Amino acid sequence: MARAQSGLEQTIRQHAAKQPKEVWLKWKDGGFTYAEVLSHSQRAANGLLALGIKPGERVAIMMGNRPEFLWVHYGINFIGAHSVPINTSQRGATLQSTRPSRSCSITRIASRKSRSRSLPPRSA
């Protein structure tokens, strides 16, 4: 049985099929086409599935403003999970008070360009 696609996923897939080489996101001196957006988002979704994320779960993301944030956010959406963005400026007590680790399946997200940041341990 095929899984249901979100409206976001359907829209990205439609644009990637109709205009795969059209630039969707301009970033610094380059850009990303619809086909690249779909590819990166699918890779993120597959990685999250490999980590055991299931539809309906919440996944915390603590990343700066860069394209990789979108790929992870969209990948989470593609598998039917829920993205919980965490402000990267939060530290110490402020971060602890948000308690993302109590309700989120993954509390560590890192990219090659950033250091991994640990959030407080997940409570039972």
In the chain, what percentage of residues exceed pLDDT 90? 43
Q: What is the pLDDT of residues 5-47, one digit of tens each?
A: 888 899 999 999 999 999 999 999 899 999 999 999 999 999 9
* Number of CB atoms found within 10 A of residue 34's CB: 22
In the prediction, which pLDDT does 121 show? 41
Domain ranges of the chain: 7-103
Give pLDDT, residue 101. Answer: 56
> What's the pTM value of the predicted model, to 2 decimals?
0.75
Q: Hey, what CATH class is 7-103 in? A: alpha beta
Q: How far apart are CA 44 and CA 63, in angstroms?
A: 14
